[in-house]
Structures are given as C-alpha cells and as structure tokens.
Structure 1
Amino acid sequence: MVNKTKRQSGFTLIELMIASSLLMLVLYSGYYAYSIYSDNWKKQVNHYWKKSQAGMHLISISRVFEGISPYVIRNADDQLSLYFIGNSSSTSFITQAGIYSQEKSIVEFALVEKGDDKLLVYREKSLKNTVFKSINEPIVWEHEVVLLDNISTLQFSYFGWLSFRDYQQFVNSTRELETRDNSKKISWYNQHILDENRIFPINVKVNVDFKDSTSEQLVFFIFDASSYLVKAINEDI
C-alpha cells in the first residue's frame, strides 16, 4: 500500500511580508495624497471665508458712512461745528446707521497696530438718552470690533473746503454763481480739524493695501449739511 503525501498550498512568510509592505505603501500614498488635498481645501476655504468676511465688513463700513448725520457741538474754541474729525489713520463722526445701533451714535474708525499686524478697528457709542455738547467731553466706547486685518497700509483722505471761513466767503460772494471759482479753496487733504473746518468734507476716500497684495479703495460722498450749522449759528447769536 502506497502512502501519498498531499502538497500544501499557500503563501510563504516572505510573500506575506512583501504583500503587506506593498499594501502599506499604497495606504500611505493614499493618505499622503488626501492630506495634501485636505490642506489645500482648508486653505482655499479659509481664504474664501476671509475674503467673504472682509467683503461684508466693507459693506458695513459703507453703510456707516452713508448714515452720517449732522450733529452740532462746540469745538475747542467754543465755536459751533458739525461733528466730524479725521486724519490719515482715523476718522470719527455721528451716524444713524451704526453697526450695533440704529439710533444716532458716535463712531470711530481707527488703524491700530497689534504686534506685526495692522487692524482697522471700529468703535461705537449710542447717543440715545445722551447729550453730546462739546469736543472736550470724554467718550466711553460701548462697542469695539476689528473689521479688517492683515493690512499693509491704510489711509483716509478728505475732499472739501479747507476752512469754514473759505466756505462762508464763497457763499457770501456778491458774484454770480456761474462765475465763482472755488477750485483753489476745495481740495484733497489728510486732516479734517474740527476747530478749522467746522463743516463736513464733500468726499472721504479710504485706500487699503493688504499683505496678500490685494487692495481696496472706497470713496464716500457726504451730503452738504452746512445749512444746519449756519442755522445753529444764527440761533445762537
């Protein structure tokens, strides 16, 4: 009687090790590719979100400027003036379209340096149940929020009459309106001083350059509220 030995079939240990190594290589390659895709996706989403948020904040800035309201106070020389103060890095005025309140509010946009970053900060204080009579009164802000960050440079500039005196001379001129030449008395400038200007600028321009090489320019038209000041001056006499 002859015994027949059955040959066992299967994988050797070396074959299993090679197969496992190949599988691990495939899994690692897939994980690495997914990580790159995921990182790029996160960067794109983050970039899109920041741009969307900046866009919404730019719209908010426009609404605040569009809501500028004439508000007569006394300046440092005790003269009646329309409240509007500005320089190249900040501006402050009264608006009826604040970010936090729809009541008349005093607001300020200011460029603030924080470490290596530059931020556009918005501050607001409601004037509801509050009388704001003089520039010498301290302002206690109720709200503060960062509207824009990652700023390289930001500059406010103003277009209008260089002084209330120039405006009065123009208005009181005996010449016909068609022959008046105000080209030398209105211009762009970088500082709107309450004691000197006393009325609103005609335009406010904001130039913003971001660190990612993008830029924005906003130009706001401000309605002529000089009649409010003239009326207040006449009533104060």
Structure 2
Amino acid sequence: MGQTTQRAFTLIETLIAMVLLSLLMLGGALAYDYFTQNWQRNKGNMDAAMERHHITTLVQRVTQHTYPKVVFKNMQMEQLGFYFLGREEGFTAVASASVQSPNVPAVYRLFRERNEDGNWRLVYEEALLSGFVLKETDRVLPFNFRRVLYDNISELNFSYFGWENYDVRRDMISAENTVEHVPEWFSEYDGVQRVIHPMAIRINLNGMSWLITVSDASIDILGGYTTDV
C-alpha cells in the first residue's frame, strides 16, 4: 500500500495568509470606526432635534399664557397702556408662564434674525419676572435665556389682529355707538400707544401660520386701574 504524504504550509503561503488576515482586520477596524463616527453624528443630530422640539413645545405653552399686562407709559401723568410691542420682524409680550420656570411669569420676545446663508432664523428670548412687579415700559429686563427655534427660513414675518385703539374698542361696547367697527390685521401694534392689546399674533413661516390668541379683555382689565372706562 502507498503512504499518504502530508504537505505543510510553506513560508510564503503563511505570509500571504497573514497579509490577507491583516487586510481583513484593517477593513473591519475601518468599517467599525466609520460606523461609530456616523452613529455619533446621527445621534448628535437626533439629540439636537429632540432638544429643539422640546424647547419649541415649551415656548408654545408660554405663548398660550400670553395676557394683556397693564403698565404705566408715564408714571408722573399716570398714563396707562399695555406691555406689548409688535413689529414685522417680531414682538415682545408678557406671559404668566416661562420656559425656565412654569410657575414664574416672564416677558418674552419672538423675532427673526438673519443667518449665515441670508435666510431667517426664529429666535426666542425671555426675562423672568421674579422678585419684582413690572409697572413701567422703560424697565430694563435681563433677557438671559435664548434659543433658536427654527433656522434657514426663507419667509418669516409677523402680523397682529386687534382693534385700532382703545377709543374704537370702547365705542363698540357703548350703547350710544352708531358706527360699526371691526378688528383688523396690522403689521405693527404698540400696546402702549394704542392703549389696547392685540387679540391674535400670526407668525408666517414659509407660508405656514403659527397663531397665538389672547383674550379680548383689555377694556375690563384697564377698568381695574381707572374708572374712566
């Protein structure tokens, strides 16, 4: 009977096998590193999106607590108005809640700001009204909380729905009134000058509307400060 010959690997075959194994290990390491970096990047984007959604939800809750806040526009002459200033680029208002502390009122502002690409970003800022009472329009407030809600918006503007001024609103509830007036949309609304607060704020974001409604209670609220209503 013939003998079976066992053949061993040569040195060259062993080296080739080691090179191939090294290439496989290097490819696996590169693939793992790419997967890790891609995961971290996607996770960071997801975390940022979730944080932005959380802040936006809190801001929407604050806007739902917007109310007409009476202030003095002239302390010496005891002239009253409402703490609200609306422009096409944004507005400032008062809410009974805040993002930083749900039970603390705040003055907040929503406004547009140019980004690096020339488009708009929607920015939210607030100043807590804790430890003092807001009585005057010229009070300096610490707007130390800022968040960007939306970025890279091509169309972003603000408009305001309300009565033209205090006199028009007062005439509408007067029994002697014979002229019909209706609220309108305005591109600017100064609650101090008009002596009345808007009933709605509309934010246009690329054709989509974010509507903030406020109780039409300016006359009743002002009546608590003066009998001349």
Give the unaligned 5+ runs of structure 1: 1-6, 210-214
Q: What does residue 50 of structure 1 align with?
A: 48
Q: Secondary structure at the match of 1:134?
A: coil
CA displacement at 1:63 relative to structure 2 = 1.6
On the 8 A contact 1:157/1:204 being kept in 2, the answer is yes
Q: Say whether the 8 Å CA contact 2:83–2:192 is kept in structure 1.
A: no
Q: Secondary structure of the equivalent of 1:22?
A: helix
> One-letter code of the match for 2:95?
T
**CA offset at residue 173 of structure 1?**
5.8
Q: 1:158-169 residue pairs with structure 2 within 5 A?
A: 158-169=160-171
Offset at residue 222 of structure 1 (A): 0.9
Alignment partners' CA distance in 2, 1:10 and 1:165: 106
Partner residue, 2:84: 84
CA distance in 2, matches of 1:70, 1:146: 24
1:212 is matched with none
Output the TM-score relative to the length of structure 2: 0.76
Q: How many residues align?
A: 218
> Which one of the candidate residues 182, 187, 197 is aligned to 2:184?
187
Match of 2:123 among 115, 120, 127: 120
How far did residue 11 of structure 1 move? Answer: 2.9
Separation in 1 of the partners of 2:22 and 2:151?
Answer: 42
Q: Shift in Å at residue 127 of structure 1?
A: 4.6
Asked if the contact 1:164/1:196 (under 8 Å) is kept, the reply is no
- Alignment correspondent of 1:38: 36
Matches within 5 A, 1:22-171: 22-75=20-73, 79-101=79-101, 102-113=103-114, 118=121, 120-128=123-131, 130-135=132-137, 137-141=138-142, 143-148=144-149, 150-153=151-154, 154-171=156-173
How far apart, in 1, do the equivalents of 2:73 and 2:85 lie?
A: 11
- Separation (CA, whole Å) in 2 of partners of 1:18 and 1:70: 82
Q: Identity over the aligned pairs, expressed in percent?
A: 22
Corresponding residue of 1:4: none
Q: Which amino acid aligns with 2:188?
A: Q
C-alpha spacing 1:71/1:105, structure 2 compared with 1 (3 Å): same
Contact 1:83 / 1:198 at 8 angstroms: preserved in 2? no
Aligned counterparts of 1:220 and 1:119: Cα–Cα separation in 2:
15
- The code of the aligned residue for 1:203 comes to A
Cα distance between partner residues in 2 of 1:141 and 1:151? 27
Following the alignment from structure 1 to structure 2, what is the Cα–Cα distance between the partners of residues 119 and 17? Answer: 62
Tell me the distance in 1 between the aligned counterparts of 2:211 and 2:134: 28
Secondary structure of the 2:190 match is: coil
Q: For structure 2, list consecutive stretches of 5 or more residues without a partner in the other structure.
A: none
Who is 2:193 aligned against? Answer: 196
Is 1:232 equivalent to 2:201 in the alignment? no
Q: CA RMSD in A?
A: 3.3
**CA–CA distance in structure 1, aligned partners of residues 93 and 189 of structure 2:** 11
- Return the letter of the residue paired with 2:66: I
Q: Which amino acid aligns with 1:200?
A: H
Deviations along 1:132-184, whole A, 9 cap, x unmatched? Answer: 3322x2313163222425343543322222322322232226469xxx854xx
Counterpart CA distance in 2 for 1:52 and 1:94 is 27
Separation in 1 of the partners of 2:165 and 2:79?
Answer: 13
One-letter amino acid matched to 1:204:
I
How far 1:200 sits from its partner (Å)?
2.0
- TM-score, L = length of structure 1: 0.74
Residue 3 of structure 1 corresponds to none
State how far apart, in whole Å, the 1-side matches of 2:167 and 2:22 are. Answer: 82
